[in-house]
Each structure stands twice: as C-alpha cells, then as structure tokens.
Amino acid sequence: MAIGGFFNALGRNIASDHVKNMGISVDSISKVVTLEEITVSGIQRITGMGRMTEVHEGIIYSGKKNEVLILDSINANTALNNPRQVLGRIPGSNYSETEGGGFPSNGIGFRGLNPAQSIETNTRQNGYNITADLYGYPESYYLPPLEAVERIEVTRGASSLQFGPQFGGVINYILQNGTSDRPFEGSFQQTTGSFGLHNSYLSMGGTDRKWHYFAYSQYKDLGGWRPNSQVNQITGFAKVEYEATIKLKVGLEYSLLRNTIQMAGGLDDAQFNQNAHQSVRARNWLSSPWNIVALTAQYQLSENTSITLKSALNISARNLVWRNEDGGIQTPDSISPVTNTYVPREVEHEGFVSSTSELRLLSQYKLGNSHQTLAAGVRYFDGYMKRQEGGPGSTGSDFDLNLYGGNYENDLSFKTTNLAVFAENTCRIGNNLSVTPGFRFEYLRSAAKGYITDDASDDILRVNRSKNRNIPLAGFGLQFRTSSTTNIYANWSQAYRPTDYSNQTPVGVSSKIDPNLKDARGWNADLGWRGTVRNYLNFDVGAFYMAYNHRIGIELLTDVNGNPYTYRTNVANSVHQGIETYIELNPVKMLTGKSKVGEVSFFNSLACINAQYVNGQFRGNWVEFAPNIIDRFGMTYAIGRFSTTWLISYTSRSFADANNTRFSPDAAVGVIPAYQVMDWSASLKIRNYNLKFGVNNLADKRYFTMRTDEYPGPGIIPSVARSFYFGWGARF
C-alpha cells in the first residue's frame, strides 16, 4: 500500500529510480499501483517541486510551510549554482547576486528578509549545520555544488521549533547518495561557458554488503564578467556508511572547500550607469577554506520509535586583504606620485572552530483510537572564533596576507555556547484533522575577550564581556485534509535572533555601529491550501504574517561637518505580510494524458510582500531589501529525452536603508531598481550520456540586487551580464 502511494505520487519514471534503490524491481510492484486506496510516503510532487509529507526522516512537517526541489527534474545552470533557475520556484525567495563582485556564494532571503550571505536563514547540508557559527557568524561561505545535490528542502514559518529560532527558516541541501545495488557507479560532468568558465565534476559511489560510500570532487575556474573578479575553487565530499545491524547504521562525512577569490569591489550610481562592467578595485582578495566533519547515526529502538544523531565539527577560516575603504568608493586606488606605490591594504583574518550535535527522537504511538507522533530532541553547540582586523597589509596587488610594520588594530576571541531542547507532538483528531503543538527552550551564552583600537584616539581598549540568555519559544500547527492529496495548513511560532559578531565588532564595514544593539524577537504565522491533482496540477496558495521587533538596519545620518554616513542600529519594529502562490500545470496531461509531440508545462511562483516599519521615526517606510512583488514564470517543453525551460523573473523596487533614501553620495544606500531577467536552459539525455546548454540573462539586462556597506563592496554590486554555457557528461 505504501509503495503504491509512493509510486503513484512521484510518477512512473521518478518512482522507478527510488524503488530500484530500495532493492525492489519496478515489475514486481506494477500490479500494486492499480489499488485505489494508497498511502503516500516520502515527498509529494509532480515534477520539479513538491513538499514533504506529515513526517519525513524523523521530523514533523504537518502544518508547516515547506518546499522540496528535485534537482534532476529541473533544467538549470548547476555549474554556477544559478539561484533563479533552481530556488526561484520558491515564492518570495530573493537573492543577493554577488558573483559580479567576484563573490560566488549567492545569498538567499525569504519574505522580505535580508538575503546577504543568507544571514537570516539556517543553512544545512544533509541535516547538519554548515555555517561557521549558528548565532555569532551565520554567514554562508561554503555551499555544496548543485551538481552534487539530489534535492533542496526549504522550511519556513514554523521552522523555529525543530531547527532553531531564526526568522528566515531552514534550507537543507541533501547530497546525492550513490547507487545501492552495485559496488561502483561513477559520473562526470564538464561545463564551459562565458567569461572563462571551466567546471569539472566527478563523483563515485556504491554499496558492498553492509558498506555504502559516495564521494565527489569539483574544480571551478571563472575569469569573471567584470575585471578583477576571478575565482578558483575546489570542492570535495566523501561519505562512508556502515549498517552494523538491521537496527543500527552509522556514517562519517567530510566536506572541503578551497578557494581564491578576487573581488572587483562596488560602484557608485554614476559609475554603474556609465559602465556597470567596470571595476575600480584590483587589489581585493578573499579566501574561505572550509572543513566539515560529520558523524551520523540512526538506531531503530522499536518498530515505531527511532533515534538519530548528527554531529558536525567545523574548522574553517575567512581571510581578506583589500584596499581600505576609508574615503569611500570615490577615493581612487591609484599609485601615489610621492611614494610611487599604492597605499597599504588592510588584512583581516577569522578562524572558526565549532561543533553542533543534534540528537532526535521520533515515536509513533496511539492514544485511545488516535495515532500520535512525537518528535523531540536536544542540540548542543560550542563555537570559538578568532577575529583579527585592521592589519597593515602590503602595497602590492597579489593575494598577500602578511603584516607589514605593525599588529592588528583589533584582536578578539569570541565564544558561544548554546543548549536547546525541543519537542512537538502531532495529535490526530479523526481521519482528517491534526494539531501539532510545540515548544523549544534555548540557553545561549556569548563572550568576547581581547582588544580593539579606538578610531578617534588610537587608544587600545581591552574587551572582556559576556552575556547569558534564556529563550523560551512556543508554537503550534494545524493541518486538515481536504482530499487524499490536498490539505489546508496553518501555523504560528515565535522567533528570535541575537546580535551577531559582525554587528558587535564589524569587519570591513564602512558604517558606524550602535554600541547598544538589542536582540531581535518576533513571530511567524502561515495559512494556506496546497496539494496535487492527479498528475497535472501542483499548487500551494497561502498568506503569511511576520512580526520582527528591534530589527537591525542602516540609517543615513550626517556628521557635524555635514558629511553623510551610514549607521547600523536597531531601527524599529517591522511587520512583513503578504501572499505566496505556486501553481504548476501540465495541460497535456490534464486534457489527453499523453502526447506524441511532447508535453508543455507551466509554473508561476508569485509573492506579494508588504514589509514596513510600524513604529519610530521610520514608521511607514519600507524594510530594506524587501521588494513588493517577486514573480517568476517558467515554461518547459519535453519530448523523449529532450527538455528545455524558459524562465522570466521579475523583482520590484526595494531600498537599501531604513530612510528609504533614493540617492546619496554614499552608494551603500539608495534605491535598488526593479529588474526583469530571462534565462533559457535545455538538456538532452542519450543512454548514459547528457548534454546541457543555455543562456543566463538572455536579454543582457544591466541590473543589481544589492548595495552593501561591506565586502564584496562597499557600494553597488552589479549582476552578471548575458552568459552562455555548454556541458556534457556521462554516468558509468
């Protein structure tokens, strides 16, 4: 029954792959799929995007807003991790496209939250944390290459109870797992493209009795659209699992990133309007070596109860040498006629050592005649960060992190300890209604020790401070089945975000920082209707409301001499509310079931967002980086083994500061104009071989998605112009 439901929900081609991995032949279950009563397990979808069922891999999703993106069903430029073509299907997703500044780790934000470096989003890989510090430094430098990703799971709204207190939800990259029916299977993919793109991907995996393994390596070399924006990158991953008994499985995983990034810097408005391709910085470099070791274990206590453990150790760093931005973008980085050299650059270094362990329990039980599900767990996080900034760098142009003639201006050690316990219980009332109350309690201790240099007096100031927090969070969810494949969902949960290290002691930031920043608190709520209709319609229509108090943002102020400057502070409380819809329709399957001339399907991902400040001096102003409309329309044509997708993406105007400044000499603030971008991609599969090709930014639009007061700017970071790519690969 369960296999039949899984088969029917995913479709014959997709299900056959999954069933094959379970060791069951497609022919052996072909008779089962004709049964009328089915139980759907796993992921409900029709083509590229779907959603988790009520319980999935030890986590309760009943009543929660969630999406799942299946990568092998989506035409996209995975060699460049193009976010529009993959994550663009998620309504309300907004991106900080920093590749044009030489910084390829594009960030993502939802529902009007800041997308820069995905700081509002809990970023995971295979269910464990991959950021440097959950609270002190939540920025994403390492992301797995999309060529290695099987699916992407996104949970919003009520994610704060089982994953953490963040406002922006969770994005979880699930990597491919390798074959389960033979000792070895390999694949390779080669991609070339515009602006010197060369990308090589190689993977292998297999199963031998109780042992299972998977590994990949990726090498990427990109010259960059703008001058001074080259990237060299090596990414790798290896996993081995051992099935000790029928009840116990243990695994070990290792992820690696090595890169060298030249950052082209930001532009002011006049420079962008004159020539968005130009770069006025040639000596800015960054590297972020990343190492993650993860231990996983699954134990089946009984038929209805299981325990999972995911423990990750992160030993990583971020190294930066750049032209000090004192004086702003308008100050040229030129050779002095007096010294016959450039001015010295500034060196920054951050080292991270952190560990995150999550132990989860899932239990299915009966209370009277009603089936219940309990999900509970505990998380322990311990993080150490060494931050050194303001070091006197070289007058050269190469990637040189050595100090010349002095020590770092600031040298601080940060320590974060977090202990969290959480529980949710799904109470089923009758056959259609379920109620899921939940609770989470967080203990957080943060400490800083070291010294900083006062900008005004050059005095050395000693720092030795700590802060403890006890954070209770509550929430609940409702889900009502309107049919076997559709349901109405609702949820409400509290959220929390402490001030991070970047706000307390900023690195490479041109803004002044309020020394009395407060932590942000608030809550999320969702209400919607979602589901599938046979094999031709997939939909999710809902509304959301988010209260975000003590929001940290940027004000534009003026000093005593009349010069403008930006100030990072708790600007006000904000409310984000709106409508999110996703509709995917295959009219051929709806009308005829099958066509000899191929099939055409359409999808539309639309979000209407109203994000405004509701108190203080900015009452009625729009929240930064919060466009009112994000609309993406895609059309896919498929025949046989050929598939092609055309995508048009529209994002309305937004602002970079709480003042809603339209123009300023300081390019870190101002309007981010509306933009519309088209992408085209296609793929052809011939036996075990494939060809992939396409064009990003088909109309060659000049636009940008962010202004920033820090690297890879400050200023406007132009998005990449029209680019072509072509790839070929094989599985063997």
pLDDT at site 515: 73
Kindly tell me if the per-residue pLDDT of 23 is higher than 70. Answer: no
Strands 122-125 and 170-175, sheet pairing: parallel
Q: Where are the domains of the chain?
A: 42-731
Percent with pLDDT over 90 in the chain: 65
Beta-bridge partners for 280: none
Contact predicate 98/706, CB 8 Å: yes
Class of domain 42-731: mainly beta
pLDDT band at 569 (very low <50, low <70, confident <90, very high): confident
Instruction: Report residue 653 as tokens.
Output: 């105007």
Strands 248-262 and 290-300, sheet pairing: antiparallel
Helix (H, G, I), strand (E, B) or coil at 80: helix
Nearest to 233 by CA among 379, 104, 387: 104
The b/e string for 505-533 (b: 16+ C-beta within 10 A; e otherwise) is bbbbbbbbbbeebebbbbbbbbbbebbbe
Tallying the residues shown for the chain, one arrives at 732
pLDDT tens-digit series, residues 410-440: 999 999 999 999 999 999 998 899 999 999 9
Most confident of 75-84, 454-463, 605-614: 605-614
Q: Could you please report the per-residue DSSP string of 253-274?
A: EEEEEEEEEE----B-HHHHHH
pLDDT band at 25 (very low <50, low <70, confident <90, very high): very low
Using a cut of 0.75, tell me whether the model's pTM lies above it: yes
pLDDT tens-digit series, residues 26-85: 333 333 333 333 333 456 656 678 888 899 888 999 999 999 999 988 888 888 878 888
Contact predicate 600/635, CB 8 Å: yes
Q: What is the mean pLDDT of the chain?
A: 88
Helix, strand, coil share (%) of the chain residues, nearest 5: 10, 55, 35
Instruction: Report residue 666 as tokens.
Output: 């300081």
Kindly tell me if the per-residue pLDDT of 458 is higher than 90. Answer: no
pLDDT band at 98 (very low <50, low <70, confident <90, very high): confident
Rounded Cα gap, residues 239 and 216, in angstroms: 9
Contact predicate 198/221, CB 8 Å: yes
Kindly tell me if the per-residue pLDDT of 565 is higher than 90. Answer: no
Mean pLDDT of 456-474: 88
pLDDT tens-digit series, residues 207-250: 999 999 999 999 999 999 999 999 999 999 999 999 999 999 99
Q: What are the backbone dihedrals phi and psi of residue 709, each rounded to the nearest 5 degrees, phi first?
A: -100, 10
Kindly tell me if the per-residue pLDDT of 474 is higher than 50. Answer: yes
Rounded Cα gap, residues 158 and 136, in angstroms: 22
pLDDT at site 505: 58
pLDDT at site 40: 38
Kindly tell me if the per-residue pLDDT of 473 is higher than 50. Answer: yes
Rounded Cα gap, residues 177 and 251, in angstroms: 12
Rounded Cα gap, residues 119 and 134, in angstroms: 10
Q: What are the backbone dihedrals phi and psi of residue 128, each rounded to the nearest 5 degrees, phi first?
A: -120, 160
Q: Which of the residue ranges 18-22, 100-104, 548-552, 591-595 would you say has the lowest mean pLDDT?
A: 18-22
Contact predicate 331/282, CB 8 Å: no
pLDDT at site 44: 62
Q: Could you please report the per-residue DSSP string of 492-534?
A: EEEEEE---HHHHS-SS--SEE-TT---EEEEEEEEEEEEEET
Mean pLDDT of 81-97: 89
